[in-house]
Structure 1
Amino acid sequence: MIEVYTDAAASGDPGPSAAGIIIKKGQSLSEYTFYLGEKTNHEAEFLAVIKALEVCVDLFPGEIISVRSDAKIVVDTMEKNFTKNEQFRPMFEKILILQERFPYVFYKWIPEKNNKNADRLAREALQNYTKPR
């Protein structure tokens, strides 16, 4: 089973945003960051999951994926397998399509204190992508 930790950071709502992702397979840890553009915080959290699943499609096809996030809105949406929010629908549908590439994907809400490394990556990425050059 692959453990995936995702978090997002946004400067403003909407504003520049970035994702931090930690992927753990056994004792191996990999870190990823992505600049997401001008997004709301909730959009950025959904996009962090999308980016994580895209990485897993490339690196871990056919594996069981456990996505852990401190974004309750994302975890609740994916556990219910439904959203009324039109803003989230395209991202929700993209996640559903990506999920089809794995035998099983499940989502677990974790407290922020248990997601510090993904949070650190997201914040560092946001600073790196938005600092003046």
Structure 2
Amino acid sequence: MIEVYTDAACSGEPGLSAAGIVIKHQQTIHEYQYFLGTWTNHEAEFLAIIRALEICQEQFPGEILSIRSDSKVAVDTMENNFTKNVKFSPLFERIQLLQQAFPYVFYKWIPDKQNKNADRLARKCLQKTQNPDQR
């Protein structure tokens, strides 16, 4: 089973946003960060999961995934397999489609302190986007 940690950082609500993703596969840790554009924080959390699933589909096809996020909204939506929020619907549907490439995808809510690496990556990416001269 692969452990996938996702987080999003936003500057404003909505505002510029970025995703941080940490994937633990066997003894190796893979780190990714992506600028997402302008979204609300909750939307960015769903987009972080989407990007993580896309990475896993490319690099770890057919594996069992355990996706961990500190976003209660995203995890509850995926665990309940339902959303009433029209803004989340297309993101939810995209996740459902991507999940089909894997035998099992589990979602687990984790506290912020257990998601520090994904948070660090998202914040770093957002900071680089806002201040391109900082390296």
TM-score bucket (shorter structure): over 0.9
Q: State the match for 1:24 in structure 2.
A: 24
TM-superposed deviation, 1:26: 1.4
Aligned counterparts, 1:35-74, within 5 A: 35-74=35-74
TM-superposed deviation, 1:132: 4.9
SS of the residue aligned with 1:11? strand
CA RMSD across the alignment: 0.7
Q: State the match for 1:120 in structure 2.
A: 120
TM-superposed deviation, 1:130: 1.5
- Aligned partners of 1:56, 1:32: CA distance in 2, in Å? 12
TM-superposed deviation, 1:22: 0.1
- Aligned partners of 2:79, 2:15: CA distance in 1, in Å? 27
SS of the residue aligned with 1:32? strand
SS of the residue aligned with 1:86? coil
Unaligned stretches of 5+ residues in structure 2 = none
Q: State the match for 2:11 in structure 1.
A: 11
| TM norm structure 1 | 0.98
The one-letter amino acid paired with 1:126 is L
Counting aligned pairs with the same residue, the percent is 67
- Corresponding position: 1:111 with 2:98: no
The one-letter amino acid paired with 1:106 is F
| TM norm structure 2 | 0.97
Unaligned stretches of 5+ residues in structure 1 = none
Aligned length: 133
